[in-house]
Amino acid sequence: MSTAKEHKPVVIVGAGVSGLALGNFLLREGIDCVVLERRDRDHVERRQRAGVIDTRATRAFRKRGLEDRVVGGTPVQAGLGFRIDGQDRWLELPAEEYREGRFCPQQVLVRNLITVFEQDGGDLRFGTEVTVEDIDRPRVRLGDGSIIEGDFIAGCDGSHGATRAAIPENRLTRHSHEYGYAWLVVLAEVPAVHPTLLAIHRRGFAAQFGRGPTASRFYLQCPLDDTAEDWPDERVWSELETRFGEPIATRGPIVEKQPLPLRGEVLSPMSHGGLHLLGDAAHIVPPSSAKGMNLALYDADVFAEALVGYYRHDDPSLLAAYSDNRLRDVWNYQAFATWFTDTVHDAGDATYRGEFRHQVARADFERLFTSGPANRLLGEFIAGLN
Ligand code: RFL
């Protein structure tokens, strides 16, 4: 086993959106870093999840001259398409805040980030499983036994990664929330008829999101103990048709089907000695809020600024404030995620949380159509500008 040792100022663990965005941001600033990823390139480039880069995240790329090279896709619509008990209702949202967001599947963003990072001379190593040896004097071990020491470790390795696991339990508080239901997450080779459609129905929430020209993500609210075997393809299609109140135009192959319990989580603080957490390693929001990928990008934006202060201006204050600043923002978006998720689910199937919550959610939902301030607030959260 090799005992080779190298030094990199910033050791980034994980080549998902947060790690790759951070790597690119640092490269633009001339700050040396390495991105270490345990999976192979093909796996990382094919992983399908989010579909929208919001206005604030788009701006983080633009201010560094990366928007044209990294952010693909068409502008998002200035509103949300709902189908409530089979009736269409279009919720118009403030157009100016939306204009800069893009429909861009996560795997397209990741592919572009990898390409740009490599074109610009970045050090990116796939197939490299990392374990963290020390977070106070930052030091990681790679699968071949070699060591990399750094000034900082950026923990960008998701909720099951090695960096959060390296933090002693007595230095960390985990705040978590279970929503009490799951989504059956379905990926199908079917073009999206509607770019985004959210169905509120007595049988449960359902949604469809386009994922590029030939694929769609469908989501079906289901009980926590449901398994993929409970949902043969025929049941998926017929339940979607019931909740959407229309036939599915094309029933293409279903390529992925898995239940995902909806939950929220925040790890506090996000900084521990030389280790700083970003993205899902630090916080989880339910996919219903469409904020997980975007929060990961906000973290990368703020952490990169902090490192620029440290290395270029000899000013460690932003780094010292990173955790507090990010946690304030993360809780704000957890508040949005909780409210939005509760509202669109409780307004449908009352069997999970009762008729009282159902009526409250219907009232909350109606306010979005009748109150300018409520409508604007939703628009700001969706754009990432609140
Ligand atoms: P990632 O993207 O999971 O990347 C973490 C990377 O770390 C690697 N890794 C390691 N590498 C080296 N050594 C180790 N020991 C390692 N351990 C792990 C992993 O292989 C991986 O490559 O985390 P990051 O960067 O924090 O990004 C977070 C986002 O990916 C996530 O929040 C979003 O995908 C969440 N999400 C959505 N976000 C949105 O903004 N809008 C959406 O519409 C949306 N839809 C979704 C979603 C997540 C979903 N799932 C599967 C949970 C829909 C779904 C179904």
pLDDT tens digits for 147-202?
999 999 999 999 999 999 999 999 999 999 999 999 999 999 998 877 789 999 99
Residue 351: per-residue pLDDT: 97
Say if residue 147 is in the same domain as residue 28. Answer: yes
Range of the domain at 72: 5-79+95-175+264-341
Q: Check if 294 has its Cβ closer than 6 Å to any atom of ligand 1.
A: yes
Site to probe by mutation for ligand 1, drawn from 43, 49, 140, 156 as the one with most ligand atoms within 8 Å of Cβ, is: 49
Ligand 1, atom 30, residue with closest C-alpha: 293
Q: Is 143 part of any domain?
A: yes
pTM equals: 0.96
Q: Is 335 part of any domain?
A: yes
Q: Check if 368 has its Cβ closer than 6 Å to any atom of ligand 1.
A: no
Say if residue 105 is in the same domain as residue 230. Answer: no
Q: Check if 274 has its Cβ closer than 6 Å to any atom of ligand 1.
A: no
Residue 98: per-residue pLDDT: 78
Gap from CA of 134 to ligand 1 centroid (Å): 24
- Averaged pLDDT, 255-259: 95
Q: Is 90 part of any domain?
A: no
Cα–Cα distance for residue pair 34/14, rounded to 1 Å: 10
CA dihedral of 197, 201, 206, 208, whole degrees rounded to 10: -20
Ligand 1, atom 51, residue with closest C-alpha: 49
> Strands across the sheet with 254-268, in order?
87-92, 79-84, 196-200, 206-210, 216-222, 173-188, 254-268, 283-284
Say if residue 324 is in the same domain as residue 238. Answer: no
Q: Which two tokens stand for residue 173?
A: 């508080």
Q: Is 86 part of any domain?
A: no
- pLDDT beyond 70 at 1: no
Average pLDDT of the chain, as a whole number: 95
**Phi, psi values for residue 262, rounded to 5°:** -85, 130
Cα–Cα distance for residue pair 138/275, rounded to 1 Å: 7
Q: Check if 156 has its Cβ closer than 6 Å to any atom of ligand 1.
A: yes
Q: Check if 260 has its Cβ closer than 6 Å to any atom of ligand 1.
A: yes
Q: Check if 15 has its Cβ closer than 6 Å to any atom of ligand 1.
A: yes
How many domains is the chain partitioned into structurally? 2
